[in-house]
Structure 1
Amino acid sequence: MTSASPPRRGAVPPASARDEAWLEAFAEHLRHGLGRSPRTVTAYLTDLRHLAAHAAGAGEDASANAFAEVDTEDLRRWLAAMREEGLARATLARRVAAVRTFLAWLVRQGLRPTDPALRLSAPAPDARLPHVLHRAQADRLIALAEERVHAARAARDRPAAAVAARDVAVLELLYATGARVAEVAALDVDDVDLDRRTALLTGKGDRQRTVPFGAPAAAALDRWLRVARPILAAERSGAALFLGVRGGRVGVRQVRAVVDAGLEALGDTAARGPHALRHTAATHLLDGGADLRTVQEMLGHASLRTTQVYTHVSIDRLREGYRQAHPRA
């Protein structure tokens, strides 16, 4: 099959009618068969349309069925073209994963006789270690958030004080459990047991896990539930644990904003992004002597290999402390 130059970055033409029908059926399989998130489904479909545009030739006859005809050499040329574009290794790895999952599904559905992706080698993602907070920085992150509670109370601004108390509870819970931002945003009131100090988190693929948290997080959650949440609660609040200023369930973007603002206020860390406290929690658990399996259970990782990156972070921190402290370092 003759391939054309890939479409320019950011412009992905629609696939043929038959290809789009296959993509829609595959999307249903991802949503309901594999339990993938809407974001993952959207990313996979975008990646697959990019392949269809490359294999069929952008601007050519839209009736071409690229997915039925694509072969291993087409896939290799597609991968090489993306490398030439300078796409990140993580992006390439994700696109190859999408194609492998899709083509294997086509074979199982009897829509293709063979899977050309079986011999396709994917680039390994960059092994960049995450930035994490030191313990003193984590303590200061919470202390700064507490200061905002006191400031709002002093100003007699009850809604602002409630939001600030919510932010403290969110930060405490993220750091205590290593939860994903989306997992914390999705929590209901009944998912948190203050007596047992546990939270029921729903992770990727709707897999649930119960994780413990400590006394500081329990105190912050108790204050939020007893004092602050009733100030923001409205008819639309429902069972949601954390609320926005209008009373609805707090969104993932709002929780990320809380984390980003807190990290920015520290001023002395490169840690950024929604997973910053997740990385920090995992690293501090390992620093404190927790075994890798325990950390895997806490984080909800399906594979132990995903958790192992934090062992490298801990070793780097140990090496840094050794160089600073040991006279013969």
Structure 2
Amino acid sequence: MTSATSLPSSPPPPGRTFWALEGNTQRLDGGAMFGNVPKALWSRWLTADADNRVSLACRCLLVRETVPGAPPRHLLFETGIGAFFEPKLRARYGVQEPEHRLVASLAAQGLSPADIDVIVLSHLHFDHAGGLLAPYDGGALTLAFPRARVVVGAEAWARARAPHPRDRASFIPGLAPLLEASGRLELVEPGDEGRVLGPGYRFFTSEGHTPGLLLTELATPAGPLVFASDLIPGAAWVHLPITMGYDRFPERLIDEKRACLEDLWARGGVLFFTHDPALPLGRVTYDPAQDRFGVSPCGFEALHPDAGA
């Protein structure tokens, strides 16, 4: 993991509010989601359907920043899987809704895709970046967010442009050229967060799931909030040995996960989960007798007195 996790982000800016926005849900094979963990164990955490698939969220984090005398700025961390798949692939990957659910979640907050100023992607696997695209209509792919700058880690971008055969199917053909042609793509490295996002953010990367997974720490008055992406996709994966079959280097991911959790526990930090079907965020806990990390469910009110529900 790059950019040592013990280095805190800069202080939080005033007037910042958070929401967890639900995107399209999907069902994936439970064995793939839990790697070498036997079903007798993982079925305690998630219930499989008749096809051995478990339900997963594709959740996004919305941040609104307000400064007196200026219009609010809206940042969106990831876009979920969206509704871009044609029907055959939508069924294959277990996408449950034909409509773009993230757009509906934005509308519930009084926003449209045109109101989003910045989108930060941890990587470009389709279940994290597919929501950038408009819903499937039988025509060419088009971007759903007309004015947002799209922030992507340089290493994650390079992987999307030249994937390995093992993960080629995880990327969306045609998305990268659309982003390049938009003129709104911004490639970053850890250390660029101040220039790109402003104060109160910090980038660091992980290599265990995919090259250059870009993780973001957000400073809050009550401690750090980390958008955990696929380093820790949900509460069940907080337990150190639990990894996904999709992870390229499970042992390295476990080491990176330990470093992140140790740091957050020491600083009273909170994890935001993209894929947990029930829990958007939880504060990191630790049992030294068992050397075991966990999470205690919490809401955004625990992070900021002005947080959204």
TM-score, normalising length from structure 2? 0.26
Task: Name whichever structure is richer in strand by fraction.
Answer: 2
Which is higher, the Rg of structure 1 or of structure 2? 1
TM-score, length of structure 1 as denominator length: 0.25
More helix by share: 1
